[in-house]
Structure 1
Amino acid sequence: MATDKDAEFVTGEARARLMFEQTKVLASSGLEYTNPLIPHLSLLSTTLTPTPKCTFLYTVQQAHTNRLNTLHGGCIATLFDYCTSVAVSLVSKPGFWEFVGVSRTLNTTYLRPAEVGAEVEIECEVVAIGRQLAQLRGTMRRRGGGGEVFATCEHGKFNMDARGKM
């Protein structure tokens, strides 16, 4: 039987967009770990089939660079952590990844530097998702041009929805 809570829960692509918009509000008030990155990130597209996937656009800012004036590895990992979590929201529903889980692993491979001003596309997909564990993948590449890949990630998550019920 559907509850009032179920009726208010947004699913699919609308949920991913809602999660992103809510993060923007939290970031603007200083209440989000992604505060410095979110103003420079936009959600370009979402899809549910054949694989749940989100694509984002990020512009590299001077404040997010290392001593070599390229995007800092910590910023790359943070972007992957957040963006892959939005991808989970595409398949979440009441009782199934409702809170998009917590990270178990985040393996990031850095392939080439992204310079200040570079427009970067971040594509994140749900590779596999079960009751407790999820495997996500992310690719960060230059938008347009040659589309060279800057970094990739594999993100493992654990579902906290059932915590306390085990």
Structure 2
Amino acid sequence: MNMTHYMALLAENQPWNLILFMAIPVILAETVAITELFILFSRQFHGKMRQINRFASITGGIYFSGVFVYLMINAVIPITQAGEWRGIADVIAVGFYLSGIVPLGGLALLDLGVIGKGWDEERKLKLHAIFVAVFLVVAHIAMIFGMLDPTLLMAPEMSSAMPAMHH
């Protein structure tokens, strides 16, 4: 079966790539999302849930920054230089996965006080929730396109030229 580079990365070196590139970032982001709902509904801007939320936001942003740099150097640049993209689904999957750096980095910068320093809690919470929502959207787009057979979105003459990957 043909795979996007996104799926190939997660399938290789089991279970480590799945843990490092999917489980850790998603668990941290989901922790932020769940605690964010509690904070949004309770309006408790301090306390245990906010501490967990802040820890997961900062840790997720810093961790994903490392993932982003690692994958740019070790995957995106070499794949691009070698012309080895497997069609538009492949580019969308990898591109949207890596675009997670914007909301995750934003969460970390917001909770570290780098952005929104003089803002009230309500305004920070609004931007925080927007970053969480954006991350969930880009992560799901990456997953959907990442799971596609990349030849499905290729012109017929291109998909027949692509070698099949068998596992």
- Scaled by the length of structure 1, the TM-score of the pair is 0.29
- Scaled by the length of structure 2, the TM-score of the pair is 0.29
Larger fraction in helix: 2
